[in-house]
Structure 1
Amino acid sequence: MARKQYHFPVTDSPFWLHVEMQVQKWGAITLLFIVVAGLCGLFSQGWLSAQTASSSDRKLTVQYDRYGRLQSDIDMQVTASATLNSRTVFTLGGDFMHDFEIRTLQPQPEKMYSQNGELVLEYARPHADQPFTVWLGLTPRGVGRSEQKIVLNGATTVAVKQFIWP
């Protein structure tokens, strides 16, 4: 009885088999790196993203995420230190009005208005001798780098830089 020989339409090439093996190996390593970076906060909230910026005189502190994703919520806390002033005015300028939409704002200000492309929040402080914090829930409007300038009572300034991923 004669053995039947089969002819396969594709011949194996050792070179391309080696290339495929290398692509799979390096692709798996790259994918693992991307997953770990995402879990650590490189693309949104997490350890790599959490940032705190303070003014030189420590009267104003901003806690925010350096990295965010388009149409995902970003939290920001703006804290004014204890002062003798009974009124506190926060001015959110730079790219703030153009790049973000405010979803939540706590506590609600007594006055809130836009002036020269900046958002102004005015508060009467019940306890001027204690720190005062405003919590903002923001949603990015676009992708890319955003630079905001947050000013306390027209004098103390903190610069905030963020990057929004698609």
Structure 2
Amino acid sequence: MKGDGDHPDLQSRDYPVREDMAYQAKVWRFERCGWYVLVLLVVLGLLGLFSRGLISSREVISDNGHLRAEYEMFHRNGSTNAMKISLNGKPDATLELDIGGELLEGFSVETLQPQPLRSRNSAQGMRLWLQADGQGQATLYLTLRGDGLGLFRSRIESPGSTGVELVQFIFP
């Protein structure tokens, strides 16, 4: 029985056109690998590698459970993504929230819902005061627009609670 290399179509020849079939087989293998990489990138993109999705969605909770942040890890420059920050404290109390690190360097805050009772900017970031409900919970929804490029590390803290670290990457 003949092997695949013995098939007449896979033999190098000079007539009618000069062909190097060993080189052609290497090109075909390279193209096949390129197709695999392309399919892998499409699947990763659908899963959220370049923006919203399963790979990108993150939820971080402080050690004592009083602070929780839900956000997207991967962003595109110029696109908007939502972030949800939840705080637990005393019922009907005013809760403080510090947002610092590189978040404000790589993102612009488009909206804050509900509007905080007060806010203050500082060199480290910004401090917000939120009104807790009857169960002691306050939730802040932010819309962030990616303005930078690369990796940004941020920290969200609340007095009386351990903070949470956010890691976000903005693609061009």
The count of aligned residue pairs is 159
SS of residue in 2 equivalent to 1:160: strand
- Distance in 2 (CA, whole Å) between partners of 1:99 and 1:128 is 35
Q: 1:142 to 1:37 in 2, by over 3 A?
A: same
The gaps in structure 1 that reach 5 residues or longer are 1-6
* Deviation of 1:129 (Å): 1.6
The residue identity in structure 2 corresponding to 1:14 is: M
State the partner residue of 2:59: 52
Q: TM-score, normalised by structure 2?
A: 0.83
Aligned position for 1:164: 170
Deviation per residue, 1:106-138 (Å, 9 max, x gap): 11112222112311111233x242421101110
Aligned pair in 2 of structure 1 residues 8, 131: CA closer, same or farther (>3 Å)?
farther
Matches within 5 A, 1:104-115: 104-115=111-122
- Give the structure 2 partner of residue 79 of structure 1: 86
TM-score with structure 1 setting the length: 0.86
1:91 counterpart SS class? strand
Q: Does 1:26 align with 2:33?
A: yes
Deviation per residue, 1:126-161 (Å, 9 max, x gap)? x24242110111012211111111011364311111
Correspondence list, 1:62-141, <5 A: 62-84=69-91, 86-125=93-132, 127-141=133-147
Please, which runs of 5 or more residues in structure 2 have no aligned partner? 1-13
Contact preservation (8 Å) 1:82, 1:128: no
> What RMSD in Å do the two structures reach over aligned CA positions?
2.1
